[in-house]
Amino acid sequence: MAPSYSVLTTEDFAFNAVTLINAFRTLAQSFFTSAAFRRDFFSILHDLLAHAAGDVADAAIQVRGMAGDVEDRVKAQSMPTKVGLDDLPATVVNSLVDEAKD
């Protein structure tokens, strides 16, 4: 059975907004008045940033490996020793000619 959804009434929305604002106010008050809360907050923030940095490092390692694979594939392909204007598409030749005029 599919869940049924109802549209929020204006009163529900207002109540939720006030509740959210009060929650942020309580968090801010706790942050400014409790050293233990600040310590825990910064500890959690530190852990999140360390985890994010590890994810970035993992992604960089993957990108480096993929770049090496691409480099190996390009090196393995035979490249023509001489490329003339006849080998280039007309649009490339026209853009090169236009750039040379400028």
More confident residue, 46 or 4: 46
Per the structure, the complete domain to which residue 24 belongs is given by 10-79
Tokens coding 80: 């023509």
In a domain, 44, yes or no: yes
Q: Is 84 inside a domain boundary? A: no
Residue 31 CA to residue 41 CA, distance in Å, equals: 8
In a domain, 66, yes or no: yes
Whether residue 1 lies inside any domain: the answer is no
Q: Among 39-43, 45-49, 63-67, 81-85, which is the least confidently predicted range?
A: 81-85
Domain assignment present for residue 2? The answer is no
- Express each pLDDT in 46-55 by its tens digit: 999 999 999 9
Task: Say if 87 falls within a structural domain.
Answer: no
- 94 within some domain: no
Query: How many domains are contained in the chain?
Result: 1
Q: What is the mean pLDDT of the chain?
A: 87
pLDDT at 86: 66
Rounded Cα distance, 101 and 2, in Å: 66
Rounded distance between C-alpha atoms, residue 84 and residue 78, angstroms: 16
pLDDT digits (tens, 9 = 90+) for 5-51: 788 889 999 999 999 999 999 999 999 999 999 999 999 999 999 99
Does any domain span residue 75?
Answer: yes
pLDDT of residue 21: 97
| Predicted TM-score of the model (pTM) | 0.49
